[in-house]
């Protein structure tokens, strides 16, 4: 097994690293689940499925290999004194529910109020992806994105709103399709200044 460091910045500082099984062990686990579901792991249509699932998991959960701090590290100070809101809307993301291992599909809206530095907007989307591509609950995902931006950029405020549909609710359990869960995290002026928070929420709601 190889050591896998899953520590988001400032959030799980005391958590130990996780041991990652080998690919062979992962594929054997998939074969076990297929057999437990009631199918024949040796039949033609399933022969390559364990390898395909292992490769898919590498893509689904590549966020464990991403460092959100490094993604935000390169900033720019030549802003000509710009200190108004920076908002990136409708960042589509794909995650997986840590309770049932089924997809969470949604959109994130991320804003910050720069104090001295700004960051390339693609980095905001990459930070969303870095945390989304892990086993998640939406509440934690929202908090992690906001806290990483706040810790690295040290702005006057950070706001994150996430809207998502959870297949653990639509394809199993209560079977309620079309339901959207909304979470938010406000830091700094977005929490303390009602006018700033209202401006952010109005901009999120405005049509593109």
Contacts of 51 (CB under 8 A, 6+ apart): 27
Distance of CA 182 to the CA centre of its chain: 14
Given a cut of 50, whether residue 3 has pLDDT beyond it is yes
Mean pLDDT of 104-117: 95
What CA–CA distance (Å, rounded) separates 164 from 173? Answer: 17
Half-sphere exposure (Cβ direction) of 200: Cα atoms closer than 13 Å:
27
Q: Which stretches of the chain are assigned E, i.e. beta strand?
A: 2-4, 18-20, 75-76, 86-97, 103-113, 118-119, 135-136, 157-166, 181-188
**Tell me: the pLDDT tens digits for 132-169?**
999 999 999 999 999 999 999 999 999 999 999 999 98
Average pLDDT in the 180-201 region?
A: 97
User: Any idea which residues carry the catalytic annotation?
Assistant: 97-100, 138, 166, 168
5, pLDDT greater than 80: no
Interatomic CA distance for residues 30 and 46, integer angstroms: 10
φ, ψ (nearest 5 deg) of residue 58: -60, -35
């Amino acid at each position: 097994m190889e050591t896998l460091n899953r520590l988001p910045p400032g959030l799980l500082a005391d958590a130990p690293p996780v041991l990652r099984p080998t690919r062979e062990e992962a594929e054997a686990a998939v074969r076990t689940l297929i057999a437990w579901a009631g199918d024949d792991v040796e039949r033609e249509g399933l022969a390559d499925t364990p390898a395909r699932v292992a490769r898919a998991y590498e893509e689904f959960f590549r966020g464990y290999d991403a460092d959100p701090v490094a993604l935000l590290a390169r900033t720019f100070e030549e802003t000509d004194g710009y200190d108004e809101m920076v908002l990136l809307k409708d960042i589509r993301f794909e995650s997986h529910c840590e309770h049932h291992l089924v997809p969470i599909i949604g959109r994130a809206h991320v804003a910050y109020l720069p104090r001295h530095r700004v960051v390339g907007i693609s980095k905001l989307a990459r930070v969303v992806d870095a945390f989304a591509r892990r086993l998640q609950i939406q509440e934690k995902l929202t908090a992690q994105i906001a806290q990483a931006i706040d810790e690295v950029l040290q702005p006057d405020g950070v706001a994150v709103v996430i809207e998502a549909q959870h297949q653990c609710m639509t394809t199993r359990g209560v079977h309620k399709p079309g339901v959207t869960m909304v979470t938010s995290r406000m830091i700094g002026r977005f929490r303390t200044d009602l006018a700033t928070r209202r401006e952010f929420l109005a901009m999120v709601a405005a049509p593109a």
